[in-house]
Structure formats: structure tokens, C-alpha cells
Amino acid sequence: MTDETDPAQDEVLATLFAGYHQFRETVWPERRKLFQALARDGQKPRALVISCSDSRVDPAMVFGAGPGELFIVRNVANLVPPYKPDGDYHGTSAALEFAVRVLQVPHIIVLGHAMCGGVHALLNGFPDAAKDFVAPWMQIARQARARALACDPVDPQTACEQETVKLSLDNLMTFPWVAERVAEGSLRLHGGTFDIRSGLLALLAGDGTFRPA
């Protein structure tokens, strides 16, 4: 152990704390009543967004949403696993259950994105540093990989990113309480991809293609 600190890490922390102080000085006074109302009345988000953990994709920023508007679940490659209540640890499924059954969200949006690292590894192989958890997790999307490559796409990365969104939507319907609410019309499922290079959002249409929003 040493008392020496890494100047680069100190700079990162200083930047984060400076951001917090700016929040307290500018954002908090403007949003105080909103936060207090959310604390008093609880949350009633307009939608559940299942997005990638990628730091370049912020669903709240993409949709221009404020506090309390979106219930956001982020994981590697915005994947929804199949319904499997086996007593194991299922973070995404737990969040899905809470949003759908407790908060009664009316919409679920699966949001993929361009240049997804998880999809790239699925297509090209996983680095040794990402084999304990990332590689097994991405096996959820092996069917998406097969579907994308079956049509010999010009851009396999984009094709696979889109197929992971479709696969996650399919897997959502394996949850009985999701399927029930979809059938009764109280819950709607949506798919989309966000291109971090252009800032454009494309939505999944009924014919299986992605079209600019």
C-alpha cells in the first residue's frame, strides 16, 4: 500500500464532483419542487427503456426526458434474457418485473445503438478480459448473430445490432405478465436504434425494417 495518489484519477474525481456542485447550484434550485414531488408522490414513469450500458448513449438525453419520466435499465448490448424464474440472479428481469408489474409502465422501448461493443465482440470474438461475464451474457444474442449473418449483409455490425433489438422484443413476450398486458392493450412494445455518429433515431416498423423517427 502507498499513500501516493494517481493525479489522473484525482482529476477525474474532481471533474465529477465539480459537476455535482454545478448541479446543486443551478439544476437543483430549478428542479427542487419536481424532486420533492417525486419524493412525496412516488414515480410514475411514462416508459421503461432497455438500453446499452455504453457511456455514449444516454436514453434520457435522446428522448429529452427529465427526472421521473423514464425507468431505465442498462446492460451490455441492451439485451432482454428469456423468462427464467429459477432463483438465480437476474438483474434485467428483476427491473422488468418491477417496471411492468409494480409501476405499470404503458410502454417498453428496447433501444439499440450503432458501434455497440458487445455486438462487435459477438461477431468478431471476445477479448480475454471480457470472458468471465460478458461472453456468457452475449450468448443471449447468438440467434440474433445467426439471423444477421444469414442474409449476408453489407454491414454485419448494423444488421446484428438491429437483430438484437428484435430478439429482445421477442424475449419480452416470454414473460407471461408482459404478454398478458400486451394482449389486453395496456402495454406496448417498441424497438429502436440510435446512431451516435449522426444523432439519428430509427424505429422498428411493422415490416421489420428500421425507419428514421
User: How do strand 200-204 and strand 188-195 relate by DSSP bridges?
Assistant: antiparallel
- To the query of whether residue 142 is one of the catalytic residues in this protein, the response is no
Provide CATH code, domain 43-212: 3.40.1050.10
Is the separation of the CB atoms in 59 and 51 below 8 Å?
yes
- To the query of whether residue 54 is one of the catalytic residues in this protein, the response is yes
Is the separation of the CB atoms in 201 and 213 below 8 Å?
yes
Q: What is the pLDDT of residues 119-151, one digit of tens each?
A: 999 999 999 999 999 999 999 999 999 999 998
Which residue ranges make up each domain of the chain? 1-42, 43-212
**Helices assigned H by DSSP within 104-193:** 117-124, 134-138, 142-150, 156-172, 176-184
Q: How far apart are CA 194 and CA 57, in angstroms?
A: 8
- To the query of whether residue 113 is one of the catalytic residues in this protein, the response is yes
pLDDT at residue 13, rounded to an integer? 94
Q: Kindly name the residue from 74, 113, 145, 181 that is annotated as catalytic.
A: 113
**Residue in 127, 125, 193, 136 with CA at minimum distance from that of residue 159:** 193
Residue 4 confidence class, pLDDT cut points 50, 70, 90: low
Average pLDDT, the chain: 96
Q: Is the pLDDT of residue 9 over 90?
A: no
CA–CA distance from 15 to each of 53, 57, 128 (Å)? 21, 20, 31
For residues 152-167, give the mean pLDDT: 97
For residues 171-185, give the mean pLDDT: 98
- To the query of whether residue 52 is one of the catalytic residues in this protein, the response is yes
Residue 2 confidence class, pLDDT cut points 50, 70, 90: very low
For residues 49-55, give the mean pLDDT: 98
Residue 8 confidence class, pLDDT cut points 50, 70, 90: confident
For residues 168-190, give the mean pLDDT: 98
Q: Kindly name the residue from 54, 74, 145, 181 that is annotated as catalytic.
A: 54
Q: Is the pLDDT of residue 5 over 70?
A: no
- The least confident of 3-7, 28-32, 114-118, 174-178 is 3-7
Q: Kindly name the residue from 52, 145, 160, 181 that is annotated as catalytic.
A: 52
Q: Kindly name the residue from 56, 142, 188, 211 that is annotated as catalytic.
A: 56
- To the query of whether residue 155 is one of the catalytic residues in this protein, the response is no
